Structure 1
Amino acid sequence: MKQRWTFRCYPTCEQEQTLVRTFGCARFVYNRFLAERTAAFRRGERMGYSQSSAALSKLKRDPDYLWLNEVSSVPTQQALRHLQAAFCNFFDKRTGYPSFRRKDGKQSAEYTRSAFKFEIGNQRLVLAKLGRIKVKWSRRVPVDPTTVTLIRKPSGRYFVSLVIDVQPAPLPVTGESVGIDFGISRLATLSNGERVANPKYSYRYQRQLKRQQQALARKTKGSNRYRRQKQRVARVHDKIANSRSDTAKKLAWSLVTRFDTIYVEDLNLRGMVKNHSLARSLSDAGIGQAIRTIETKAAMHGKSLVKIDRWFPSSKMCSACGCLRSSMPLSIRRWACDCGAAHDRDENAARNILAVGQAVTGRGASVSLH
Structure 2
Amino acid sequence: MKSRYQYRIYPTPGQQTELAKLFGCCRVVWNDALALIKAIPQGEKWPSNAQLQRRVITQAKQDPARNWLSGVSVVALQQSVINLGTALKNFFESRSRKRKGSRVGFPRFKKKLNRQSARFTQRGFAIKGEKVYLACLGARSLASFADAGSHRKIGKLKTKWSRPLPSEPSSVTVLKDCAGRYFLSFVVEVEPVTVEPKNQGVGVDLGLETLATLSTGEKVKARDTRTLDRKIRKGKRKLARAIKGSRRRESLRNAIARIEARQRDIRKDTNQKLASRLVRENSVVVLEDLNVAGMVKNRCLARAISRAGWRDIRIMCEAKATLIQDREVRVISRWEPTSQVCSCCGYRWGKLDLSVRSVLCLNCGAEQDRDVNASVNIMAAGLADLNGQALSIVRPQSGAVACLSTHQESM
TM-score of the aligned structures, taking structure 1 as reference length? 0.90
In the TM superposition, residue 220 of structure 1 has moved relative to its aligned partner by: 3.9
Instruction: Please give the alpha-carbon distance, in whole angstroms, between the structure 2 residues aligned to 1:49 and 1:17.
Output: 32
Question: Cα gap change, 1:229/1:175 in structure 2, threshold over 3 Å: closer, same or farther?
Answer: closer
Question: Cα gap change, 1:204/1:44 in structure 2, threshold over 3 Å: closer, same or farther?
Answer: farther
Is this contact kept in 2: 1:89–1:95, CA < 8 A?
yes
User: Among residues 212, 219, 222, which one is paired with 2:245 in the alignment?
Assistant: 222
Corresponding residue for residue 78 of structure 2: 77
Aligned AA (1:44): G
Instruction: Please give the alpha-carbon distance, in whole angstroms, between the structure 2 residues aligned to 1:108 and 1:102.
Output: 11
Instruction: Please give the alpha-carbon distance, in whole angstroms, between the structure 2 residues aligned to 1:331 and 1:36.
Output: 55
- Correspondence 1:162 to 2:186: yes
In the TM superposition, residue 175 of structure 1 has moved relative to its aligned partner by: 4.1
- Correspondence 1:98 to 2:107: yes
Superposition pairs of residues 311-326 of structure 1, within 5 angstroms: 311-326=335-350
Instruction: Please give the alpha-carbon distance, in whole angstroms, between the structure 2 residues aligned to 1:278 and 1:85.
Output: 35
In the TM superposition, residue 262 of structure 1 has moved relative to its aligned partner by: 0.7
Instruction: Please give the alpha-carbon distance, in whole angstroms, between the structure 1 residues aligned to 2:189 and 2:276.
Output: 21
User: Structure 1, residues 250-291: CA drift from partner, whole Å, max 9, x if none?
Assistant: 212222332121111122323432333332111121111122
In the TM superposition, residue 114 of structure 1 has moved relative to its aligned partner by: 1.2
Corresponding residue for residue 19 of structure 1: 19
Instruction: Please give the alpha-carbon distance, in whole angstroms, between the structure 2 residues aligned to 1:236 and 1:175.
Output: 38
Is this contact kept in 2: 1:34–1:100, CA < 8 A?
yes
Corresponding residue for residue 124 of structure 1: 131
Question: Cα gap change, 1:330/1:34 in structure 2, threshold over 3 Å: closer, same or farther?
Answer: farther
SS of residue matched to 2:173: strand
Corresponding residue for residue 377 of structure 2: 352
- CA RMSD across the alignment: 2.3
Is this contact kept in 2: 1:266–1:307, CA < 8 A?
yes
SS of residue matched to 2:133: strand
Bigger shift: 315-324 or 67-76? 315-324
In the TM superposition, residue 222 of structure 1 has moved relative to its aligned partner by: 2.2
In the TM superposition, residue 326 of structure 1 has moved relative to its aligned partner by: 4.2
In the TM superposition, residue 206 of structure 1 has moved relative to its aligned partner by: 2.3
Bigger shift: 103-112 or 342-351? 342-351
In the TM superposition, residue 322 of structure 1 has moved relative to its aligned partner by: 2.0
Is this contact kept in 2: 1:178–1:263, CA < 8 A?
yes
In the TM superposition, residue 216 of structure 1 has moved relative to its aligned partner by: 4.0
SS of residue matched to 1:242: helix
Aligned AA (1:70): G
Corresponding residue for residue 400 of structure 2: none
User: Structure 1, residues 309-345: CA drift from partner, whole Å, max 9, x if none?
Assistant: 2222212222222233443343433333341333222
- Correspondence 1:109 to 2:109: no
Corresponding residue for residue 387 of structure 2: 362
Bigger shift: 302-311 or 212-221? 212-221
Instruction: Please give the alpha-carbon distance, in whole angstroms, between the structure 2 residues aligned to 1:267 and 1:39.
Output: 40
User: Structure 1, residues 220-244: CA drift from partner, whole Å, max 9, x if none?
Assistant: 4323343233211111011100000
Corresponding residue for residue 187 of structure 1: 211
Superposition pairs of residues 253-292 of structure 1, within 5 angstroms: 253-292=276-315
Question: Cα gap change, 1:354/1:290 in structure 2, threshold over 3 Å: closer, same or farther?
Answer: same
Could you tell me which runs of 5 or more consecutive residues in structure 2 were left unpaired when the two chains were aligned. Answer: 96-102, 137-153, 395-411
Instruction: Please give the alpha-carbon distance, in whole angstroms, between the structure 2 residues aligned to 1:59 and 1:294.
Output: 45
Instruction: Please give the alpha-carbon distance, in whole angstroms, between the structure 1 residues aligned to 2:312 and 2:47.
Output: 32
Is this contact kept in 1: 2:125–2:134, CA < 8 A?
yes
Superposition pairs of residues 165-244 of structure 1, within 5 angstroms: 165-201=189-225, 203-217=226-240, 219-244=242-267
**Which structure has the larger Rg?**
2
Instruction: Please give the alpha-carbon distance, in whole angstroms, between the structure 1 residues aligned to 2:106 and 2:237.
Output: 33
Aligned AA (2:159): V
Question: Cα gap change, 1:264/1:53 in structure 2, threshold over 3 Å: closer, same or farther?
Answer: same
Instruction: Please give the alpha-carbon distance, in whole angstroms, between the structure 2 residues aligned to 1:136 and 1:246.
Output: 18
User: Structure 1, residues 3-47: CA drift from partner, whole Å, max 9, x if none?
Assistant: 21111112222222111111111111222222332333x623342
Instruction: Please give the alpha-carbon distance, in whole angstroms, between the structure 1 residues aligned to 2:47 and 2:161.
Output: 39
Aligned AA (2:196): P
In the TM superposition, residue 357 of structure 1 has moved relative to its aligned partner by: 0.9
Question: Cα gap change, 1:105/1:344 in structure 2, threshold over 3 Å: closer, same or farther?
Answer: same
Matched-pair identity in %? 38
In the TM superposition, residue 116 of structure 1 has moved relative to its aligned partner by: 0.8
Corresponding residue for residue 10 of structure 1: 10
Corresponding residue for residue 149 of structure 2: none
Instruction: Please give the alpha-carbon distance, in whole angstroms, between the structure 2 residues aligned to 1:181 and 1:248.
Output: 14
Aligned AA (1:13): P
Aligned AA (1:106): R
Question: Cα gap change, 1:171/1:321 in structure 2, threshold over 3 Å: closer, same or farther?
Answer: same
Corresponding residue for residue 90 of structure 2: 89
Corresponding residue for residue 148 of structure 1: 172
Bigger shift: 303-312 or 80-89? 80-89
Aligned AA (1:252): A
- Correspondence 1:133 to 2:154: no
Question: Cα gap change, 1:16/1:324 in structure 2, threshold over 3 Å: closer, same or farther?
Answer: same
Aligned AA (2:72): V
